[in-house]
Structure 1
Amino acid sequence: MKTIETTEELAQFCSECSRYPYVTVDTEFLRERTYFSQLCLVQLARPGDDDREDAVLVDILADGLSLEPLYDLFRNPDVVKVFHAARQDLEIFQVEAGVIPQPFFDTQVAAMVCGYGDQVGYETLVRRIANQSIDKSSRFTDWSRRPLSAAQKKYAIGDVTHLRVIYEDLAEQLKESGRSAWVEEELSILLNPDTYTIDPEDAWQRVKTRTTSPRFLAALKELAKFREATARDRNVPRNRIYKDDAMMELAANRPKDLEELGKSRLLLREARKGDIAEGILKALRVAEIMPRDEIPKPEERPRTANNATALCDLLRVFLKARSTQEGVAQKLIASSADLDRLASEKKPDIAALKGWRFEVFGRDAMRLKRGEIALSANGSEINVVKIGG
């Protein structure tokens, strides 16, 4: 297999790729020690076979290598860029260069539409569609170390060579079923640059807590905001500033000065002094005077009324039956929270009542809710029965 280490080699390969209908793409990166992903390797393959060097590794860490030829390929409207579970890959390119590949195809999303289950893994698709197996021993190796081992290279190149077979198979299934538009609807989120931007003002929403005290939530918001901005500016993981459990301890106790801050059981020693300590105390002072209408309110899962509990259970049965009939992953059609809201609210604003999901499930789910249809069981098969005239 060929490893590209110069801009000229990359430009030549990307130019050759522009003559093909698609190119498969994957990345290897590290993120354990940084806020932003550290890109280490890009794998590319165009239609063909490996003997003609139709698949290459791009050594991102090679001196003087520019990714501009790759970004030009990403912008080429005539070549589909194929990934599997692409969110983290796209985030890297968006952050690094403000580029999101288009047109774009995600085989994980397509596989969910084609009935391979929820968030199906690449290894599963390789086994079920390409009839191959993957040696995962190099999966969690240090991709920043050079030279790369033969095992690392073999593992990395497999992420794009098998992907060609998977893409062609899934694309054909979607064409036959007429569901290509379903996949495009799902991919619109991944193609939105806002998907990869975390506003420090909203960082508190990533923290799981059951506490609903207004002052606790105000403190949590300001502490999460400070941590997010600091981690981003220093390019270190959030937990290097302070971990979630320490942040919730601070939000609960709300120390007033360095002496009280030093009594924290969970706060890292480095965070009890210097810029981090001052930032924590400032965040807590802001939280103390936060107007009540600016204090965050946790998103509450709707409570299912007693008279809606049976309906909710019925909707779950119907969802399972319909997903089986349509060959689409249940989770892609509707979440448990969607079903709870559908059972409890008159006009819930949920994805299950929009687009292709409405056609597959939402319309009949609303009819079931209104008592216009019922469900009957015939062995393991669930059928819809129309009620009345």
Structure 2
Amino acid sequence: MKIHPLITTTDALADLCGRLAKSDFVTVDTEFMRENTYWPELCLVQIANTEEAAAVDPLAPGLDMKPLWDLLTDNEEVLKVFHAGGQDVEIVYNFTGRTPHPIFDTQIAMMAISQSEQIGYSNMVESWLGIVVDKGARFTDWSRRPLTERQIEYAIGDVTHLCKIFPKILARLKKTGRGAWLDQEMEKLADPENYRNDPNEAWERIKAPSRNATVLGRLRALAAWREVEAQDKNIPRGRIARDETVADIASHPPKTQADLAKVRGLSAGWKDNEIGRRLMQTLADAQPLTDAEMPPRAPRGAPLGKEGALVADLLKLLLKIRSREIDVAARLLARSDELEMLAAGVRKKLPILEGWRYDVFGHDALDLVEGKMAFAVVDGKLKMTHVDDVVEEAPEQVADDSQGDSVGDTAA
């Protein structure tokens, strides 16, 4: 495989993307910094096919990234392969308003052919290629220039290794017939709605302090205000105010700006500065949520109760058994909240009761809830079995036990 020098000009990038556009697939990775910023700072993009690989420096003066963004978001003929690509996709979306498509994530794919829930890149490389990845450059400052040869070599290795692993994973998926299982998961990963950042929806990520419409209205307004402040200053939202501080202010709003000095988590300077004034104005303008805007009372399904919680535990046990039997990550089959909703009596709009998940796991889960499934120990291993099968075996076992008791009594 040909490894190109670090790409720092638009012409070199356009030439590379022109060649890569003829590939069946490309592997992609990014290096970025976001510890001290709201928006991730893109520092490097690595891309490869089976013949060549390169790292692109988005911080190079005068470099236009458009050829790369067009390849990733507009070319439907080339599959874009990532590993744990959620943050990489987010970066592309932030720059373009679009997401890479079609897309394939090897971390998600590994869940369909093994019990690995979230296998790390280094572990995957060692498992498939027997190569131990040098992690020494992983936590370096990718924004500092010039980049060292070691940094660039480490970064490009992410995509060259992936080029070798992806065909192997694809072949395993075809052999197991589970490729179709992943279609929906990959489409979710590429859905632009997952990366759209609407400040008016930021409050939904904060644990609601109550179900009072007025309090929730203040929470929505404060969370949106914080989001805009953080975006404008390009600093993490927590640097403006932590979640618990926002929730506390929503529940117990200060009467005057001077009272902000008493709020835990805020600087005393807010009592008379501009950001404090903006916060107080946000509170003054906040409107209660309407009935239509109120969150559902039971976002995780109907109340379980003590018996329902026990049923949910049995469903989780069933999930572990099934994932072990077919060598699939449990998380790919079902989430805990889905099992709790099933135990609580919910039957509609549950992914485990639809499509391939129903065939592989949901059918048995439903049988367990309805009393048609049982657990048994076979050859020292816990397995699931249908109640009808147990009933058929029971009479013969009872006869054997009875006969044994007779002999014992006679001997006595």
Instruction: Give the 3-state SS of the residue equivalent to 1:23 in structure 2.
Output: strand
Question: What residue number does 1:107 align with?
Answer: 106
CA distance 1:92–1:270, shift in 2 (3 Å): farther
Aligned-partner Cα distance in 2 for 1:352–1:154:
43
Instruction: Give the 3-state SS of the residue equivalent to 2:129 in structure 1.
Output: coil
Question: What residue number does 1:254 align with?
Answer: 253
* Contact map agreement 1:221 1:296 (CA 8 A) in 2: no
CA distance 1:217–1:99, shift in 2 (3 Å): closer
Aligned-partner Cα distance in 2 for 1:239–1:213:
25
CA distance 1:221–1:297, shift in 2 (3 Å): farther
Question: Structure 1, residues 178-232: CA drift from partner, whole Å, max 9, x if none?
Answer: 1111111101111111110122222112123565555443322221121112222
CA distance 1:59–1:306, shift in 2 (3 Å): same
Range 265-274 or range 332-341, more displaced: 265-274
Aligned match for 1:28, one of 11, 31, 43: 31
1:137-156 correspondence runs (5 A): 137-156=136-155
CA distance 1:90–1:273, shift in 2 (3 Å): farther
Letter paired with 1:254: P
1:43-122 correspondence runs (5 A): 43-48=46-51, 54-74=52-72, 75-122=74-121
* Contact map agreement 2:261 2:267 (CA 8 A) in 1: no
CA distance 1:358–1:179, shift in 2 (3 Å): same
1:180 aligned onto 2:179:
yes
Range 235-244 or range 293-302, more displaced: 293-302
Instruction: Give the 3-state SS of the residue equivalent to 2:263 in structure 1.
Output: coil
Question: What residue number does 1:263 align with?
Answer: 262
Letter paired with 2:95: E
* Contact map agreement 1:217 1:297 (CA 8 A) in 2: no
* Contact map agreement 1:217 1:296 (CA 8 A) in 2: no
Letter paired with 1:173: R
Question: What residue number does 1:51 align with?
Answer: none
Structure 1 residue runs without a partner (length 5+): 49-53
- The normalised TM-score by structure 2 is 0.86
How many residues matched?
383
* Contact map agreement 2:17 2:67 (CA 8 A) in 1: yes
Question: What residue number does 2:318 align with?
Answer: 318
Instruction: Give the 3-state SS of the residue equivalent to 1:4 in structure 2.
Output: coil
Letter paired with 1:384: T
Letter paired with 2:204: Q
1:10-21 correspondence runs (5 A): 10-21=13-24
Range 336-345 or range 365-374, more displaced: 365-374
Aligned-partner Cα distance in 2 for 1:55–1:170:
20
Letter paired with 2:359: E
Range 186-195 or range 244-253, more displaced: 244-253
Task: Tell me the percent identity.
Answer: 40
Question: Post-superposition shift, 1:41?
Answer: 0.5
Aligned-partner Cα distance in 2 for 1:37–1:55:
24
Question: Structure 1, residues 165-189: CA drift from partner, whole Å, max 9, x if none?
Answer: 2211111111111111111110111
Aligned-partner Cα distance in 2 for 1:45–1:348:
43
Aligned-partner Cα distance in 2 for 1:171–1:275:
56
Letter paired with 1:130: L
Aligned-partner Cα distance in 1 for 2:225–2:298:
22
* Contact map agreement 1:82 1:104 (CA 8 A) in 2: yes
Question: Structure 1, residues 15-58: CA drift from partner, whole Å, max 9, x if none?
Answer: 2212321111100111122221111100011103xxxxx11110
CA distance 1:386–1:159, shift in 2 (3 Å): same
Question: Post-superposition shift, 1:296?
Answer: 4.8
1:9 aligned onto 2:12:
yes
Question: What residue number does 1:230 align with?
Answer: 229
Range 84-93 or range 17-26, more displaced: 17-26
Question: What residue number does 2:409 align with?
Answer: none
CA RMSD of aligned residues (A): 2.2
Question: Post-superposition shift, 1:248?
Answer: 2.6
Question: What residue number does 2:400 align with?
Answer: none
Larger radius of gyration: 2
Question: What residue number does 1:304 align with?
Answer: 304
Aligned-partner Cα distance in 2 for 1:126–1:326:
23
- The normalised TM-score by structure 1 is 0.91
Aligned-partner Cα distance in 2 for 1:296–1:284:
20
Instruction: Give the 3-state SS of the residue equivalent to 2:136 in structure 1.
Output: helix
Aligned-partner Cα distance in 2 for 1:136–1:272:
47
Question: Post-superposition shift, 1:255?
Answer: 0.5
Range 375-384 or range 98-107, more displaced: 375-384
Aligned-partner Cα distance in 2 for 1:270–1:132:
54
Aligned-partner Cα distance in 2 for 1:153–1:269:
45
Question: What residue number does 1:164 align with?
Answer: 163
Question: Structure 1, residues 219-256: CA drift from partner, whole Å, max 9, x if none?
Answer: 22221121112222333221222222322332232102
